[in-house]
Homo-oligomer: A and B are copies of this chain.
Amino acid sequence: MSTLAGGRALRADARANRGRILDAAEEVFGAGGESASTEEVAGLAGVGIGTVFRHFPTKAALLEAVLVRRFDRLREQAESLLDAADPGEAFRSLFGHLIAYAAAKIAITEALLDAGGDRDGEAARAAERLHRAVGALLDRARQAGAVRDDAELPEVYALLAGTARAAARASLDEEAKARLLDIIFDGLAPRSHPPRG
Protein backbone atom coordinates (compact mmCIF):
# COMPACT_ATOMS: atom_id res chain seq x y z
CA MET A 1 0.00 0.00 0.00
CA SER A 2 1.44 3.40 -0.95
CA THR A 3 1.68 6.08 1.70
CA LEU A 4 -1.06 8.00 -0.07
CA ALA A 5 -3.45 5.04 -0.13
CA GLY A 6 -2.55 4.32 3.51
CA GLY A 7 -3.43 7.88 4.46
CA ARG A 8 -6.74 7.56 2.67
CA ALA A 9 -7.52 4.31 4.41
CA LEU A 10 -6.75 5.92 7.76
CA ARG A 11 -8.98 8.84 6.98
CA ALA A 12 -11.79 6.54 5.81
CA ASP A 13 -11.36 4.59 9.03
CA ALA A 14 -11.55 7.79 11.11
CA ARG A 15 -14.67 8.86 9.24
CA ALA A 16 -16.30 5.48 9.84
CA ASN A 17 -15.45 5.73 13.54
CA ARG A 18 -16.85 9.24 13.71
CA GLY A 19 -20.11 8.07 12.11
CA ARG A 20 -20.40 5.10 14.47
CA ILE A 21 -19.77 7.34 17.49
CA LEU A 22 -22.47 9.79 16.34
CA ASP A 23 -24.94 6.93 15.72
CA ALA A 24 -24.25 5.54 19.18
CA ALA A 25 -24.50 8.96 20.85
CA GLU A 26 -27.82 9.63 19.14
CA GLU A 27 -29.16 6.33 20.41
CA VAL A 28 -27.81 6.61 23.96
CA PHE A 29 -28.58 10.27 24.64
CA GLY A 30 -31.72 10.32 22.48
CA ALA A 31 -33.31 7.78 24.81
CA GLY A 32 -32.84 10.23 27.69
CA GLY A 33 -32.32 9.15 31.27
CA GLU A 34 -29.81 10.17 33.88
CA SER A 35 -27.47 7.27 33.24
CA ALA A 36 -26.58 8.11 29.62
CA SER A 37 -22.82 8.54 29.44
CA THR A 38 -19.96 8.95 27.00
CA GLU A 39 -18.62 5.57 28.23
CA GLU A 40 -21.85 3.94 27.08
CA VAL A 41 -21.49 5.67 23.70
CA ALA A 42 -17.95 4.31 23.29
CA GLY A 43 -19.11 0.82 24.22
CA LEU A 44 -22.00 0.85 21.77
CA ALA A 45 -19.79 2.28 18.99
CA GLY A 46 -17.17 -0.40 19.64
CA VAL A 47 -14.34 2.09 20.17
CA GLY A 48 -12.28 3.14 23.15
CA ILE A 49 -13.21 6.22 25.15
CA GLY A 50 -9.97 7.83 23.91
CA THR A 51 -11.20 7.56 20.33
CA VAL A 52 -14.42 9.32 21.27
CA PHE A 53 -12.49 12.18 22.86
CA ARG A 54 -10.09 12.39 19.89
CA HIS A 55 -13.08 13.08 17.65
CA PHE A 56 -15.06 15.14 20.17
CA PRO A 57 -12.95 16.84 22.86
CA THR A 58 -15.98 17.41 25.13
CA LYS A 59 -19.35 15.79 25.72
CA ALA A 60 -20.97 19.06 24.61
CA ALA A 61 -19.06 18.93 21.30
CA LEU A 62 -20.28 15.36 20.76
CA LEU A 63 -23.91 16.22 21.50
CA GLU A 64 -23.81 19.32 19.34
CA ALA A 65 -22.43 17.26 16.43
CA VAL A 66 -25.29 14.77 16.87
CA LEU A 67 -27.87 17.55 16.64
CA VAL A 68 -26.15 19.23 13.68
CA ARG A 69 -26.09 15.95 11.77
CA ARG A 70 -29.75 15.21 12.53
CA PHE A 71 -30.95 18.72 11.61
CA ASP A 72 -28.90 18.60 8.41
CA ARG A 73 -30.40 15.23 7.50
CA LEU A 74 -33.93 16.51 8.10
CA ARG A 75 -33.07 19.57 6.00
CA GLU A 76 -31.78 17.35 3.17
CA GLN A 77 -35.00 15.35 3.43
CA ALA A 78 -37.03 18.57 3.18
CA GLU A 79 -34.99 19.70 0.19
CA SER A 80 -35.38 16.40 -1.60
CA LEU A 81 -39.15 16.58 -1.02
CA LEU A 82 -39.27 19.86 -2.96
CA ASP A 83 -39.48 17.79 -6.17
CA ALA A 84 -42.19 15.43 -4.88
CA ALA A 85 -45.16 14.81 -7.18
CA ASP A 86 -47.61 15.56 -4.34
CA PRO A 87 -46.38 18.68 -2.46
CA GLY A 88 -49.13 18.39 0.17
CA GLU A 89 -48.22 14.82 0.97
CA ALA A 90 -44.53 15.81 0.97
CA PHE A 91 -45.18 18.47 3.58
CA ARG A 92 -47.18 16.07 5.72
CA SER A 93 -44.43 13.49 5.45
CA LEU A 94 -41.79 15.92 6.72
CA PHE A 95 -44.09 17.00 9.53
CA GLY A 96 -44.41 13.33 10.53
CA HIS A 97 -40.61 12.91 10.56
CA LEU A 98 -40.18 15.96 12.76
CA ILE A 99 -42.81 14.74 15.23
CA ALA A 100 -41.24 11.28 15.28
CA TYR A 101 -37.82 12.76 16.10
CA ALA A 102 -38.99 15.27 18.71
CA ALA A 103 -38.49 13.16 21.85
CA ALA A 104 -34.87 12.34 20.95
CA LYS A 105 -34.18 15.95 20.02
CA ILE A 106 -35.46 17.20 23.38
CA ALA A 107 -33.42 14.63 25.31
CA ILE A 108 -30.22 15.43 23.38
CA THR A 109 -30.73 19.19 23.69
CA GLU A 110 -31.23 18.86 27.46
CA ALA A 111 -28.08 16.73 27.74
CA LEU A 112 -26.21 19.36 25.69
CA LEU A 113 -27.30 22.18 28.01
CA ASP A 114 -26.48 20.05 31.10
CA ALA A 115 -23.01 19.47 29.64
CA GLY A 116 -22.46 23.22 29.44
CA GLY A 117 -23.26 23.42 25.74
CA ASP A 118 -24.36 26.59 24.02
CA ARG A 119 -27.99 27.22 23.08
CA ASP A 120 -26.85 29.53 20.26
CA GLY A 121 -24.10 27.37 18.81
CA GLU A 122 -23.69 25.35 15.63
CA ALA A 123 -26.85 23.29 16.34
CA ALA A 124 -28.93 26.47 16.44
CA ARG A 125 -27.56 27.42 13.02
CA ALA A 126 -28.41 23.95 11.66
CA ALA A 127 -31.93 24.32 13.10
CA GLU A 128 -32.21 27.66 11.31
CA ARG A 129 -31.24 26.01 7.99
CA LEU A 130 -33.91 23.36 8.61
CA HIS A 131 -36.42 26.10 9.40
CA ARG A 132 -35.72 27.71 5.99
CA ALA A 133 -36.08 24.39 4.18
CA VAL A 134 -39.47 23.82 5.85
CA GLY A 135 -40.43 27.30 4.63
CA ALA A 136 -39.54 26.38 1.05
CA LEU A 137 -41.57 23.18 1.31
CA LEU A 138 -44.52 25.14 2.73
CA ASP A 139 -44.30 27.61 -0.18
CA ARG A 140 -44.33 24.74 -2.63
CA ALA A 141 -47.35 23.11 -0.96
CA ARG A 142 -49.19 26.44 -0.94
CA GLN A 143 -48.40 27.11 -4.60
CA ALA A 144 -49.70 23.65 -5.49
CA GLY A 145 -52.96 24.44 -3.71
CA ALA A 146 -52.34 21.71 -1.13
CA VAL A 147 -52.09 24.10 1.83
CA ARG A 148 -54.30 27.11 2.52
CA ASP A 149 -53.12 30.45 1.12
CA ASP A 150 -53.24 32.35 4.38
CA ALA A 151 -50.95 30.00 6.35
CA GLU A 152 -47.56 31.63 6.89
CA LEU A 153 -44.32 30.12 8.12
CA PRO A 154 -44.20 31.68 11.63
CA GLU A 155 -47.46 30.11 12.80
CA VAL A 156 -46.98 26.90 10.81
CA TYR A 157 -43.55 26.45 12.36
CA ALA A 158 -44.95 27.18 15.82
CA LEU A 159 -47.64 24.57 15.16
CA LEU A 160 -45.02 22.10 13.99
CA ALA A 161 -42.41 22.69 16.68
CA GLY A 162 -44.98 23.04 19.44
CA THR A 163 -47.01 19.96 18.72
CA ALA A 164 -43.90 17.87 18.08
CA ARG A 165 -42.56 18.85 21.47
CA ALA A 166 -45.87 18.43 23.27
CA ALA A 167 -46.52 15.05 21.63
CA ALA A 168 -43.13 13.89 22.91
CA ARG A 169 -43.67 15.31 26.41
CA ALA A 170 -47.13 13.77 26.71
CA SER A 171 -45.81 10.44 25.37
CA LEU A 172 -48.70 10.26 22.89
CA ASP A 173 -49.19 6.80 21.42
CA GLU A 174 -49.01 6.27 17.67
CA GLU A 175 -52.79 6.50 17.21
CA ALA A 176 -53.02 9.82 19.04
CA LYS A 177 -50.05 11.12 16.99
CA ALA A 178 -51.85 10.10 13.79
CA ARG A 179 -55.02 11.89 14.94
CA LEU A 180 -52.92 14.95 15.81
CA LEU A 181 -51.50 15.00 12.27
CA ASP A 182 -55.02 14.62 10.84
CA ILE A 183 -56.27 17.60 12.84
CA ILE A 184 -53.30 19.75 11.82
CA PHE A 185 -53.47 18.84 8.14
CA ASP A 186 -57.23 19.25 7.94
CA GLY A 187 -56.63 22.68 9.45
CA LEU A 188 -53.92 23.44 6.89
CA ALA A 189 -56.05 22.25 3.95
CA PRO A 190 -57.25 24.92 1.53
CA ARG A 191 -60.56 26.45 2.57
CA SER A 192 -63.50 25.36 0.47
CA HIS A 193 -65.54 28.21 1.96
CA PRO A 194 -64.65 31.90 2.33
CA PRO A 195 -62.66 32.63 5.54
CA ARG A 196 -64.68 33.95 8.47
CA GLY A 197 -65.16 37.71 8.56
A contact residues vs B (CB 8 Å cutoff): 148, 150-152, 154-159, 161-167, 169-170, 172, 176-177, 179-180, 182-189, 191, 195-196
Contact = CB atoms under 8 A, between A and B. Distances in A.
A158 B183 contact: no
A162 B159 CA distance: 7
A188 B187 CA distance: 7
12 contacts: A148-B183, A151-B179, A157-B166, A158-B163, A158-B166, A158-B172, A159-B180, A162-B167, A163-B166, A165-B166, A183-B187, A184-B187
A154 B183 CA distance: 13
Nearest to A187: B187
Contacts of A176: 152, 154-155, 158
